[in-house]
Structure 1
Amino acid sequence: MILFTDTLKSQLTSSYFKDKKWERRGKVYEGFGINLFRKFLVLIGWEKLTRKTNPIENNTKSLMNLYYQTKKSELDHLIILLIVLGFNVFVAFKFGVVKSLWLLLLNVLLHLYPIFLQRYNRPRIERAINLSTRK
């Protein structure tokens, strides 16, 4: 999926990526336990791994790149989430709902929560960009 979105070369300017009023500046995601998910990612070393390949420097250009990467990552996870959800529905009909639950659980953990995380982080990154451009 990453190859697809890398090839796409879009700036991802759709209004879909804008912070929505109902997200309440991330409070919705905090209610879904996004901070626990963030701690889990640090615990398993994911944060360290991603920072090694995409380091964040203390400048506006780096923040703008990170902002774009959140959109790209969200799109990647959204596409995969929808594909796996299709398989999930198929498995539920073919083999029963109980046998499809593991697929649903993995889809939520591996794709829905990463989408939540990108949507949670992006407004904060945007505020940091705005602060850094005011200097």
Structure 2
Amino acid sequence: MELNGRLAGVKPRNRRATLLLLLGAVAVIGAGAAAGALFGYGFAFAWVVHFASMAWITGWIRQAQPALSGGHWRVRPWEPALYRRLGVWWYARLLRRLGWERVVRDQRSFDGGRSGLAALARDTRRSEFAHQMLAFLGLGLAGAALLLGARGAAGWLAVLTVLLHVYPVLLQRALRARVERAAATAAERI
């Protein structure tokens, strides 16, 4: 063990991220149990679980700062047309009308210019990653609820997973396709 604050080669930032990951899971379970006890295992329960999970994963990603590089993050040429057919831009308009775009815009590092396109692409990968994790978690919880015979909870968890996480993943990928196209156009002009 080193005396400079590192334990077995693990950086303090990574220890904090691991601690946040574990304690956050306990907090989400507690919030879900409390919501279930107070409101029953229906819509309110699923809503609380999803939003507690979003807060947890957002905090963990900020702390862990995963690299998010590799082929998975590349948007294939056929994807934007598929997402458009699935109604992802209608979903984006709905979010805009609900005011969600203003909340997210304040958290993004995009300055509105060409120089900010790389940061915007990184932000879309970070958001996509969070929503992917939450979609897997939400569908897993829905499956567990179904196995336990809680069909109402399973249904609400599944519906909210699609609305709050699956569509946002598609939206981030569609947005990143536009950002990458704009960056390529800007690079050609230079």
TM-score range, shorter chain: 0.7 to 0.9
Determine which of 9, 17, 20 is the counterpart of 2:76: 20
8 Å CA contact 2:109–2:123 kept in 1: the answer is no
The Cα shift of 1:57 comes to 2.4
Of 91, 97, 100, 2:145 maps to: 91
1:8 maps to 64
Structure 1 residues without counterparts, runs of 5 or longer: none
After superposing on structure 2, the runs of 4+ consecutive aligned residues of structure 1 that deviate more than 3 Å are: 96-99
Aligned length: 133
Cα drift, residue 96 of structure 1: 4.6
Match of 1:46 among 100, 103, 106: 100
- Deviation of residue 45 (structure 1)? 0.6
Higher relative contact order (CA 8 A, sep 6+): 1
Letter paired with 2:58: I
| 8 Å contact from structure 1 (residues 12, 72) kept in 2 | yes
RMSD: 1.8
The answer to whether residue 173 in structure 2 is matched with residue 119 in structure 1 is yes
CA shift in 2, pair 1:11/1:130, >3 Å? farther
Alignment check: 8 A CA contact 2:109 2:119 kept = no
Which deviates more, 24-33 or 3-12?
A: 3-12
Instruction: Name stretches of at least 5 consecutive residues in structure 2 with no aligned partner.
Output: 1-56
Could you tell me which residue of structure 1 aligns to residue 158 of structure 2?
104
Q: Take 2:150 and 2:107, find their aligned partners in 1: how far apart are those partners?
A: 41
